[in-house]
Structure 1
Amino acid sequence: MAANVNVALERVQSIGRDVVAALPNVLIALVVLLGFWLLARAARSLVERVWGSREGNLGRLFGRLASGSILTLGVLVAITIVFPSVTPASLFSLLGVGGVAIGFAFRDILQNLLAGILILVTRPFRIGDQIVVDSAEGTVEDIQVRATIIRTYDNLQVVIPNTQLFTGKVTVKTAYEVRRLQYDVGIGYSDDIGAAKRVIEETLAGLKLIRQDPAPEVLVVDLAESSVNLRVRWWIDPPRRKDALDSQDEVLQKVKEALLAHGIDLPFPTRQVLWHDQTEESDGDRERQREGWPAGRAQAPRPRWRVPGPGPGDEDAP
């Protein structure tokens, strides 16, 4: 028992001596690591300053990559200082094997990283653009290494992987300086189409929230069940969501007021429902116009518009 205790004490003392002997190396490694950290910050700032003036977000991404690479190198140097038996060759061989394993383990992260770089290089959209991706719509706030951050119009944050943005469909609503909006307005079949178009065009010409060049236009697009549909089209500048809603609010309000002021109807869908024995004289004789009833006069229901009592040809009817 005493022998075992002595062996344990000797091992503890040996470990203590090794730790004390390694303290200078640890202190040197910490200083070296601090130097690499300062160098990484300086490199990041330099890359962002050089690239940022030309490429914006691409400079920030490359700055992060440069900073991460320098810090990784600093950690490796610090390890070789603390553990002299570890050589650079063994570190690089370890990194080679570990790199393959990390590549398989973090394949999605690497794909998103590459997609983020390609997005920043090709620039299909930029920070501040308003885009639509699947069911998400909002303003691009940041393009990071792994994902892109979107702020919706309801002040919600949506994180979208870069691979989805690079390979999928993205609608950029602020890609151009102007944007066209449209809305369908229905008028009655008895109304003068030319007069309605002139009223709408004159109304749009006096609005300040829409562009007059290109000029607004009104087109007939449909002869619907209850109305003749006119498509009102106009342009806005700038093409942001708020400007689109403000202009649409003004256009619809002024167009409705102008059409009603000129006696032009704005009909709504109507339906006429008749029972099988309910009709008007102009609808025809139910004895001949059966509409799904069995053949034969005696089985046809008597229209309600007729005077009570047997009618012509109904002598045999009960």
Structure 2
Amino acid sequence: DHCREHFVDASTFSLIRYLSDCLKQSRDKLIIVADKPLASLASWVEQLISESLGKEGKGIIPVCGIDTEDLKYLGDDCAIVRLEDMSSSSEEDQNRKNYFNDPSEHVNQPILYTQVVEPKDLGKEIMKWELGVAMLGSLIGVNPFDQPQVEISKGLANEAIKDHKRKTTRLRRIEGIEIEDLEDLLKSLGRHTYMALLAYLPRDKENERLLRILSGAVTRRCEIPVSVGFGPSYLHSTGQLHKGGPESGVFVQLTTTDIGEKIEVPGETFDFSFLNEALADGDMAALHELGKKVVRINLGFDATLSIERLIKRVEIFKN
């Protein structure tokens, strides 16, 4: 009802003005800090911004999941959107609310506040973000309804599948780096860059927890924002941004040798683990062909142990 009566209201214009002003100030990394009940909304906003604006070397880089205590390590290329659930009473969300009661003590970035009072407010938020991002696309000169680079990864993944059927290897294979070589990668991270961890791993609570610790460690040591995406699903969310957006990204693809139970793809000569590998190879090749900074780290048969080793490597790193 609100959207029928107020197709474009003041909050939509505030969002457009805020994002536009951030871009004018070269603040193209948007840190989304959401209370736990709004985590799914934050992920949806991340996908909307990435797919709609990340093309022609332009766009905004949305990053979810950064701990509030790590915001102080971010630079002047970042801005913050605070998604607050007014009904949440969890200890974690209460600590987050207390943190933002006086954010000037902790951060130097501008902050846009959004409050959700009850579930029906979500419809208004979705409409606001859809309209705001579409209008911003027009302002920066990109088509928000196009995804020109997404098809590149699909095409290269299909090449990998065809190679498998022909028993050939026409798709260029890119060698990975060892965990011990991580320090060289961290040293190469410049100011105003961001890192994307692209994890072709099972999306379970333990992997999510470990990757959050790893991304936080990189943020603290290198003072850059770090996003986390699970493959292959991120190909249809942040994948367009990675390939078509600003040239400030460093992409770290994490794969594993532990393929688990083999389940055949119906009607095909390969299983789902191979399909997952082909999608990873396709995206890796696409990023490489587009001149992006991308490396692969194979975590071996014990991904948990390897991620823990990565975390320790980052924590002792001195920039």
Provide TM-score, normalisation by structure 1.
0.21
The higher radius of gyration belongs to 1
Provide TM-score, normalisation by structure 2.
0.21
- Which gives a bigger RCO, structure 1 or 2 (Cα 8 Å, sep 6+)? 2
